């Protein structure tokens, strides 16, 4: 079993180090770890945010645990050298088209949510976000318009096969959950969304036991705070999924709690090859202060063990250790507490060993 660790920038190395302590505590037999440079850290050392050797390391592994990329200095670089190009490059090069972002309320921890407890209690949803297409990967550029102003443009598109494969992921996931898919689009104004919706309806015919409904993205954003308990699987594109999953993180408590898995089609012998990362970014505002919440990274490790290494029991142990840590009130600044990254990691390790 090979795991590539790509810590990246800002709080990325801090939260990946915390997840690594949890991984070390599991003492998995036959596990080999590699560590590679990515993002601004890689640009400074190799002149590129995604060096060829990092990509090779990721390809050769069964799974990748990724921290975050992004740095204020990177904002002035050309787009292909910006640290964020590394994560887009990894997703594209590794064919990671399915991004799974679970968000569930923690039993007994409804007070962490800004919503009323009766609303927070019911949250148990999975955002299935398409990751290889949409406006993030379309042609883009800058031009001068007729009035002589600078004008930025980005093109949004989805073809049927791209929608079909992510729709299958969502319907299959719903079959293992509560049997409901809500497809989110903006089909009232976008051609991309019209193809999206028609294709999802076609795929749904293969899953007669799954209930499908559709929401426009603006309504979905409203429903997410008004009645989040109605959602089981939310199927959506790259842009809407990015925004809705950050919102989902806020309704369960904090962005520092939400993990993600990005999966493609390649299997590993133990599961599916994937890249796992917290949904948050490099948080330059708190980097270096030891106060990043490492739980999203630790829960990403749990997803890695489940989906890529077939170690469901270990994944469940980590999740129970995290729930106990939160239940004991070991909370980071993002949740109104004072625990440091290291204190939170130490509490998870200690709970893990006593479970
Ligand atoms: P962000 O997620 O880094 O931070 C948003 C807010 O949440 C900040 O106030 C931050 O302090 C807080 N926060 C985030 N993670 C936290 C944690 N684990 N514990 C406690 N507080 C936490 O998003 P932002 O500020 O929009 O972006 C910062 C940089 O990260 C940018 O360069 C952006 O491009 C990059 N980014 C990278 C991503 C990736 O690597 N996949 C994803 C999102 C953003
Ligand atoms: Mg985001």
Which CATH number goes with the domain that contains 171? 3.40.718.10
Q: pLDDT tens for residues 310-321?
A: 999 999 999 999
Which residues contact residue 170 at a Cβ distance below 8 angstroms, ignoring those fewer than 6 apart?
A: 128, 181, 183, 233, 235
Domain boundary (225, 252, 279) is at 252
Same domain, 128 and 246: yes
**What pLDDT score was predicted for residue 195?**
98
What is the predicted pLDDT for the residue at 188?
97
Kindly list the protein residues whose Cβ atom lies closer than 6 A to any atom of ligand 1.
Answer: 11, 15, 68-70, 84, 87, 255-256, 277, 280-286, 292-293, 296, 332, 334
133 known member of a binding site: no
Ligand 1: which atom is nearest the Cα of residue 285?
A: 11
Q: Could you tell me what percent of the chain has a pLDDT over 70?
A: 100
Structural domain contains residue 230: yes
> Is 340 within a domain?
yes
Q: 130: Cβ–Cβ under 8 A, 6 or more apart, which residues?
A: 97, 98, 99, 158, 162, 163, 166, 236, 237, 238, 241
Last residue of a domain, one of 192, 217, 252: 252
Residue with tokens 């039993």: 107
Residues 192 and 219 in one domain: yes
For residue 107, pLDDT over 80 is answered with no
ipTM score: 0.98
**Strand 2-8 and strand 32-35: pairing?**
parallel
Looking at the chain, the whole-number percentage of residues with pLDDT higher than 90 is: 91
Q: Is residue 109 part of a domain?
A: no
Q: Give the model confidence (pLDDT) of 301-355 as tens digits.
A: 999 999 999 999 999 999 999 999 999 999 999 998 999 999 999 999 999 999 8
Co-location of 221 and 335 in the same domain: no
Q: Do 276 and 167 lie in a common domain?
A: no
Pick the ligand that lies closest to the CA of residue 282: 1
Q: CA–CA separation, 87 vs 221, rounded Å? A: 25
What distance in Å separates the CA atoms of residue 340 and residue 294, rounded to the nearest whole number? 9
Is residue 106 one of the residues assigned to a domain? no
Domain limit, last residue, from 219, 252, 285: 252
Non-local CB neighbours of 335 within 8 Å, separated by 6+ positions: 112, 253, 254, 256, 257, 293, 326
Exposed (0-12), middle (13-18) or buried (19+): which is 183, by Cβ within 10 Å? buried
In angstroms, the CA 120 to CA 122 distance is 6
Query: Domain of 295?
Result: 1-97+258-355
In this structure, is residue 104 part of a structural domain? no
pLDDT band, residue 288 (cuts 50/70/90): very high
- The domain total for the chain is 2
- Maximum Cα–Cα distance for the chain, whole Å? 68
């Amino acid at each position: 079993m090979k795991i590539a660790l790509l810590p990246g920038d800002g709080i990325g190395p801090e939260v990946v180090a915390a997840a690594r302590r949890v991984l070390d505590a599991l003492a998995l037999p036959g596990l080999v770890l590699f560590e590679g440079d990515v993002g601004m850290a890689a640009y400074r050392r190799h002149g590129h945010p995604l060096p060829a050797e990092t990509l090779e390391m990721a390809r050769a592994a069964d799974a990748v645990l990724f921290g975050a990329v992004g740095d204020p200095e990177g904002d002035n670089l050309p787009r292909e050298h910006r640290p964020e190009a590394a994560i887009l490059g990894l997703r594209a090069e590794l064919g990671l088209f399915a991004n799974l972002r679970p968000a569930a309320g923690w039993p007994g921890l409804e007070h962490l949510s800004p919503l009323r407890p009766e609303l927070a209690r019911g949250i148990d949803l999975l955002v299935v976000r398409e990751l290889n297409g949409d406006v993030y990967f379309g042609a883009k550029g800058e031009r001068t318009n007729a009035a002589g102003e600078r004008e930025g443009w980005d093109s949004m598109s989805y073809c049927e096969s791209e929608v079909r494969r992510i729709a299958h992921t969502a319907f299959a996931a719903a079959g293992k959950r509560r049997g409901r898919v809500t497809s989110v689009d903006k089909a009232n104004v976008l051609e991309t969304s019209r193809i999206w919706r028609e294709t999802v309806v076609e795929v749904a015919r293969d899953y007669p036991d799954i209930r499908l409904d559709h929401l426009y993205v603006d309504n979905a954003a409203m429903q997410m705070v008004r009645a989040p308990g109605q959602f089981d699987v939310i199927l959506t594109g790259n842009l809407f999924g990015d925004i809705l999953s950050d919102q989902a993180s806020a309704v369960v408590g904090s962005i520092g709690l939400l993990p993600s898995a990005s999966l493609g089609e390649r299997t590993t012998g133990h599961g599916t090859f994937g890249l796992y990362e917290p949904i948050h970014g490099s948080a330059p505002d708190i980097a270096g202060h030891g106060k990043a919440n490492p739980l999203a990274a630790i829960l990403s490790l749990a997803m890695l063990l489940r989906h890529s290494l077939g170690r469901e029991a270990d994944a469940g142990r980590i999740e129970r250790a995290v729930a106990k840590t939160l239940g004991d009130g070991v909370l980071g600044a993002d949740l109104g507490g004072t625990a440091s990254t290291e204190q939170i990691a130490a509490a998870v390790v200690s709970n893990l060993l006593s479970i």
